[in-house]
Amino acid sequence: MSGLIRLEGVRQIYSGRTVLDIDHMKIEPGEIIGLTGPNGAGKSVLLRLLAFLEAPAHGTVLFRGKPVPVTPNPVHRQVTLMVQEPYLLKRSVFANVAYGLRVRGDSDIPDKVHDALLKVGLPPEIFAGRHWFELSGGETQRVALAARLVLKPKMLLMDEPTASLDRDSANLISQAALDARNNDGTSLVIASHDIPWLNAISTRTFHVERGKMANTIS
Protein backbone atom coordinates (compact mmCIF):
# COMPACT_ATOMS: atom_id res chain seq x y z
CA MET A 1 0.00 0.00 0.00
CA SER A 2 1.26 3.46 -0.90
CA GLY A 3 -0.22 5.21 2.16
CA LEU A 4 -1.53 8.76 2.10
CA ILE A 5 1.90 10.38 1.80
CA ARG A 6 5.21 8.63 1.22
CA LEU A 7 8.75 10.00 1.19
CA GLU A 8 11.45 8.09 -0.67
CA GLY A 9 15.13 9.05 -0.50
CA VAL A 10 14.33 12.64 0.42
CA ARG A 11 17.12 15.14 1.03
CA GLN A 12 16.70 18.88 1.34
CA ILE A 13 19.68 21.18 0.92
CA TYR A 14 19.91 24.88 1.75
CA SER A 15 23.03 26.85 0.72
CA GLY A 16 25.00 23.64 0.27
CA ARG A 17 23.99 22.24 3.67
CA THR A 18 21.82 19.15 4.08
CA VAL A 19 19.00 20.10 6.45
CA LEU A 20 16.83 16.99 6.02
CA ASP A 21 17.75 13.42 5.08
CA ILE A 22 14.99 10.77 5.22
CA ASP A 23 15.34 7.41 3.48
CA HIS A 24 11.70 6.38 3.85
CA MET A 25 8.59 7.62 5.61
CA LYS A 26 4.95 6.66 5.10
CA ILE A 27 1.90 8.28 6.66
CA GLU A 28 -1.40 6.41 6.62
CA PRO A 29 -4.90 7.93 6.47
CA GLY A 30 -6.12 8.93 9.93
CA GLU A 31 -2.68 8.55 11.52
CA ILE A 32 -1.26 11.02 14.04
CA ILE A 33 2.49 11.57 13.68
CA GLY A 34 4.37 13.51 16.36
CA LEU A 35 7.68 15.24 15.63
CA THR A 36 10.04 16.30 18.42
CA GLY A 37 13.55 17.67 18.39
CA PRO A 38 15.52 20.87 18.95
CA ASN A 39 14.97 24.08 17.02
CA GLY A 40 16.65 23.89 13.64
CA ALA A 41 16.57 20.08 13.57
CA GLY A 42 14.54 19.96 10.35
CA LYS A 43 10.97 19.57 11.63
CA SER A 44 9.64 22.68 9.88
CA VAL A 45 11.44 21.72 6.66
CA LEU A 46 9.76 18.32 6.78
CA LEU A 47 6.34 19.93 7.28
CA ARG A 48 6.89 22.19 4.26
CA LEU A 49 7.83 19.21 2.12
CA LEU A 50 4.78 17.28 3.29
CA ALA A 51 2.63 20.31 2.43
CA PHE A 52 4.15 20.44 -1.08
CA LEU A 53 5.23 24.03 -0.47
CA GLU A 54 8.73 23.21 -1.64
CA ALA A 55 10.32 20.36 -3.56
CA PRO A 56 13.17 18.25 -2.14
CA ALA A 57 16.63 18.60 -3.65
CA HIS A 58 16.69 14.81 -4.01
CA GLY A 59 14.06 12.10 -3.74
CA THR A 60 10.29 12.09 -4.04
CA VAL A 61 7.26 13.03 -1.95
CA LEU A 62 4.17 11.13 -3.11
CA PHE A 63 0.48 11.69 -2.38
CA ARG A 64 -1.54 8.50 -2.79
CA GLY A 65 1.36 7.09 -4.78
CA LYS A 66 1.74 10.02 -7.19
CA PRO A 67 4.21 12.94 -7.23
CA VAL A 68 2.79 16.43 -6.63
CA PRO A 69 4.27 19.62 -8.11
CA VAL A 70 4.91 22.69 -5.99
CA THR A 71 2.86 24.76 -8.46
CA PRO A 72 -0.89 25.02 -7.70
CA ASN A 73 -2.50 21.60 -7.82
CA PRO A 74 -5.81 20.10 -6.56
CA VAL A 75 -3.84 18.07 -4.00
CA HIS A 76 -2.84 21.32 -2.28
CA ARG A 77 -6.46 21.68 -1.19
CA GLN A 78 -6.27 18.35 0.60
CA VAL A 79 -3.07 19.02 2.56
CA THR A 80 -2.74 22.14 4.72
CA LEU A 81 -0.07 23.54 7.02
CA MET A 82 -0.63 25.73 10.08
CA VAL A 83 2.57 27.49 11.09
CA GLN A 84 3.40 28.62 14.61
CA GLU A 85 2.52 32.26 13.88
CA PRO A 86 -0.19 32.04 11.22
CA TYR A 87 -0.99 34.91 8.89
CA LEU A 88 -4.57 36.13 8.62
CA LEU A 89 -6.01 38.11 5.74
CA LYS A 90 -6.71 41.73 6.67
CA ARG A 91 -10.41 40.99 6.71
CA SER A 92 -13.08 39.80 9.10
CA VAL A 93 -12.94 36.47 10.88
CA PHE A 94 -15.78 35.23 8.66
CA ALA A 95 -13.91 36.24 5.49
CA ASN A 96 -10.75 34.49 6.68
CA VAL A 97 -12.50 31.21 7.41
CA ALA A 98 -14.63 31.41 4.24
CA TYR A 99 -11.73 32.24 1.91
CA GLY A 100 -10.75 28.69 0.98
CA LEU A 101 -14.38 27.66 0.53
CA ARG A 102 -14.96 30.55 -1.89
CA VAL A 103 -11.83 29.70 -3.88
CA ARG A 104 -13.05 26.16 -4.24
CA GLY A 105 -16.60 27.20 -5.14
CA ASP A 106 -18.32 25.53 -2.19
CA SER A 107 -21.95 26.07 -1.26
CA ASP A 108 -23.51 26.60 2.19
CA ILE A 109 -20.53 28.74 3.18
CA PRO A 110 -22.18 30.52 6.16
CA ASP A 111 -23.17 27.22 7.77
CA LYS A 112 -19.71 25.72 7.24
CA VAL A 113 -17.97 28.77 8.68
CA HIS A 114 -20.37 28.71 11.65
CA ASP A 115 -19.55 25.06 12.37
CA ALA A 116 -15.79 25.59 11.97
CA LEU A 117 -15.76 28.48 14.44
CA LEU A 118 -17.71 26.43 16.96
CA LYS A 119 -15.14 23.63 16.64
CA VAL A 120 -12.35 25.96 17.77
CA GLY A 121 -14.38 27.50 20.59
CA LEU A 122 -15.17 30.86 18.95
CA PRO A 123 -18.93 31.63 19.10
CA PRO A 124 -19.82 32.81 15.57
CA GLU A 125 -22.28 35.43 16.79
CA ILE A 126 -19.41 37.10 18.66
CA PHE A 127 -16.40 36.49 16.42
CA ALA A 128 -17.57 36.19 12.80
CA GLY A 129 -17.74 39.97 12.33
CA ARG A 130 -14.53 40.82 14.17
CA HIS A 131 -11.53 42.17 12.28
CA TRP A 132 -8.15 40.45 12.30
CA PHE A 133 -6.61 43.17 14.49
CA GLU A 134 -9.21 42.68 17.22
CA LEU A 135 -8.03 39.15 18.05
CA SER A 136 -5.69 37.92 20.75
CA GLY A 137 -2.84 35.57 19.89
CA GLY A 138 -4.84 32.52 20.91
CA GLU A 139 -7.89 33.69 18.98
CA THR A 140 -5.76 34.28 15.88
CA GLN A 141 -4.45 30.71 16.11
CA ARG A 142 -7.95 29.36 16.43
CA VAL A 143 -9.24 31.36 13.45
CA ALA A 144 -6.30 30.06 11.41
CA LEU A 145 -7.16 26.50 12.44
CA ALA A 146 -10.86 27.01 11.64
CA ALA A 147 -9.88 28.23 8.16
CA ARG A 148 -8.12 24.90 7.63
CA LEU A 149 -10.61 22.59 9.31
CA VAL A 150 -13.51 24.04 7.29
CA LEU A 151 -11.90 22.51 4.18
CA LYS A 152 -11.87 19.03 5.77
CA PRO A 153 -8.31 18.30 4.60
CA LYS A 154 -6.93 14.80 4.20
CA MET A 155 -3.83 15.91 6.09
CA LEU A 156 -3.34 18.70 8.63
CA LEU A 157 0.24 19.70 9.41
CA MET A 158 0.85 21.77 12.56
CA ASP A 159 4.08 23.49 13.59
CA GLU A 160 4.16 24.15 17.35
CA PRO A 161 0.39 24.73 17.43
CA THR A 162 0.15 25.36 21.17
CA ALA A 163 3.42 27.19 21.86
CA SER A 164 3.08 30.53 23.70
CA LEU A 165 -0.68 30.13 24.07
CA ASP A 166 -2.78 30.24 27.21
CA ARG A 167 -3.97 26.88 28.45
CA ASP A 168 -7.58 27.30 27.27
CA SER A 169 -6.55 28.19 23.72
CA ALA A 170 -4.01 25.36 23.63
CA ASN A 171 -6.59 22.83 24.81
CA LEU A 172 -9.17 24.02 22.27
CA ILE A 173 -6.70 23.80 19.39
CA SER A 174 -5.57 20.33 20.47
CA GLN A 175 -9.14 19.06 20.79
CA ALA A 176 -10.24 20.56 17.47
CA ALA A 177 -7.35 18.85 15.68
CA LEU A 178 -8.17 15.50 17.30
CA ASP A 179 -11.84 15.90 16.39
CA ALA A 180 -10.83 16.39 12.74
CA ARG A 181 -8.99 13.11 12.88
CA ASN A 182 -11.74 11.24 14.70
CA ASN A 183 -14.70 12.66 12.76
CA ASP A 184 -13.26 13.33 9.29
CA GLY A 185 -10.35 10.88 9.12
CA THR A 186 -7.81 13.69 8.79
CA SER A 187 -4.19 12.61 9.21
CA LEU A 188 -2.21 14.83 11.58
CA VAL A 189 1.50 15.60 11.64
CA ILE A 190 2.37 17.76 14.65
CA ALA A 191 5.76 19.26 15.52
CA SER A 192 5.93 20.18 19.19
CA HIS A 193 8.27 20.40 22.17
CA ASP A 194 5.46 19.04 24.37
CA ILE A 195 6.65 15.44 24.33
CA PRO A 196 4.19 14.03 26.93
CA TRP A 197 1.26 15.44 24.96
CA LEU A 198 2.58 14.08 21.64
CA ASN A 199 3.18 10.66 23.14
CA ALA A 200 -0.36 10.65 24.53
CA ILE A 201 -2.10 11.41 21.21
CA SER A 202 0.24 10.10 18.50
CA THR A 203 0.17 6.75 16.78
CA ARG A 204 3.90 7.27 16.20
CA THR A 205 6.32 9.89 17.53
CA PHE A 206 9.67 10.61 15.90
CA HIS A 207 12.66 12.53 17.20
CA VAL A 208 14.29 14.67 14.50
CA GLU A 209 17.97 15.45 15.04
CA ARG A 210 20.22 17.19 12.50
CA GLY A 211 17.81 16.46 9.70
CA LYS A 212 17.43 12.76 10.41
CA MET A 213 14.73 10.68 12.09
CA ALA A 214 17.00 9.69 14.97
CA ASN A 215 14.66 7.32 16.81
CA THR A 216 11.07 6.43 17.54
CA ILE A 217 9.80 7.32 21.01
CA SER A 218 7.53 4.69 22.51
What is the secondary structure of 179-196 as a DSSP string?
HHHHHH--EEEEE-S-HH
- Full 3-state SS string of 127-157: HCCCEHHHCCHHHHHHHHHHHHHCCCCCEEE
| Residue 107, domain member (yes or no) | no
Structural domains counted in the chain: 1
| Residue 158, domain member (yes or no) | yes
- Name which of 96-105, 135-144, 164-173 the model is least confident about: 164-173
| Residue 119, domain member (yes or no) | no
| Residue 53, domain member (yes or no) | yes
Give the tens place of pLDDT for each residue, 151-198: 999 999 999 988 878 888 888 888 999 999 999 999 999 999 988 888
Q: Supply the pLDDT for residue 82.
A: 93
| Residue 75, domain member (yes or no) | yes
Q: What percent of the chain has pLDDT over 70?
A: 97
| Residue 24, domain member (yes or no) | yes
Q: What is the CATH number of the domain that holds 19?
A: 3.40.50.300
| Residue 190, domain member (yes or no) | yes
Confidence of residue 216 (pLDDT cuts 50, 70, 90): low
> What domain range includes position 65?
5-89+137-217
- Name which of 6-10, 57-61, 84-88 the model is least confident about: 84-88
Instruction: Kindly report the pTM of this predicted structure.
Output: 0.91
